[in-house]
Amino acid sequence: MAGCCGHDVKFDGVSRDYKRRLWIVILLNAMMFIVEMSAGYAAQSQALQADALDFLGDAMTYGLSLAVIGASIRIRANAALAKGVSLLLMGAWVLGSTIYQTLYIGVPKAEIMGIIGFLALASNLASVILLIPYKDGDANVRSVWLCSRNDAIGNVAVMLAAIGVWWTSTGWPDVVVALIMAGLFLSSATQIVQQALAERRETIHGNV
């Protein structure tokens, strides 16, 4: 969002409470990546696998966010830029693999999709509740919020895909949701990269 780059003072994550919440969210995301990726293969669901990758990406980016808290603006901006690029690559991978799957489309198991989607949603809602007090801040902090938001939206989408698969007895709702999630990754990546670049430009003018 364009307006978030114009504030003079941004929360930089230097808070014991924020770090504690971030650790909890990292653990939740790491566990859900294992659960959801396994279920995605079992259900033959591209949407579940895409959402599992989102969990993995979040766990890694949250860890990076935690590592650079308290560092200079330049280092934090560079970390956010790296996360934005990784999110961009993840979105491209989901997009490409989904297009590939349309050539060999099958019918995913809607029951597994629905159950795991509900479990993932509960996990992500817990993460969102933990992080919502810190949703605004520098590019490093904001990237954490955007990833959490992506997860919650993605889980709702997976559950809708499960309903669509069950209703139509085809795999197309699963593919459509995976494509939507790829678009969400790419959109968030663009926001993160734009804010990180803006903050890097600020350091050139004397704010290191």
pLDDT score recorded for residue 88? 82
Q: How many CB atoms lie within 10 A of CB 35?
A: 16
Asked if the model's pLDDT at residue 2 lies above 50, the reply is no
Q: Where does the pLDDT of residue 102 fall: very low under 50, low under 70, confident under 90, or very high at 90 and above?
A: low
Per-residue pLDDT, averaged over 71-93, amounts to 80
d(CA 103, CA 91): 19
Lowest mean pLDDT among 55-59, 121-125, 139-143, 178-182: 139-143
pLDDT score recorded for residue 1? 31
Classify burial at 105, counting beta carbons within 10 Å of its beta carbon; exposed 0-12, middle 13-18, buried 19 or more: middle
d(CA 182, CA 130): 25
Q: Where does the pLDDT of residue 26 fall: very low under 50, low under 70, confident under 90, or very high at 90 and above?
A: very high
pLDDT score recorded for residue 5? 34
Provide the residue ranges of all domains of the chain, joining segments of one domain with +.
Answer: 13-204
Kindly report the CATH number that applies to the domain delimited by 13-204.
Answer: 1.20.1510
DSSP letter for each residue of 181-194: HHHHHHHHHHHHHH
Asked if the model's pLDDT at residue 149 lies above 90, the reply is no
Buried b / exposed e along 146-180 (16+ C-beta atoms within 10 A)? bbbbbbbbbbebbbbbbebbbeeeebebbbbbbbb
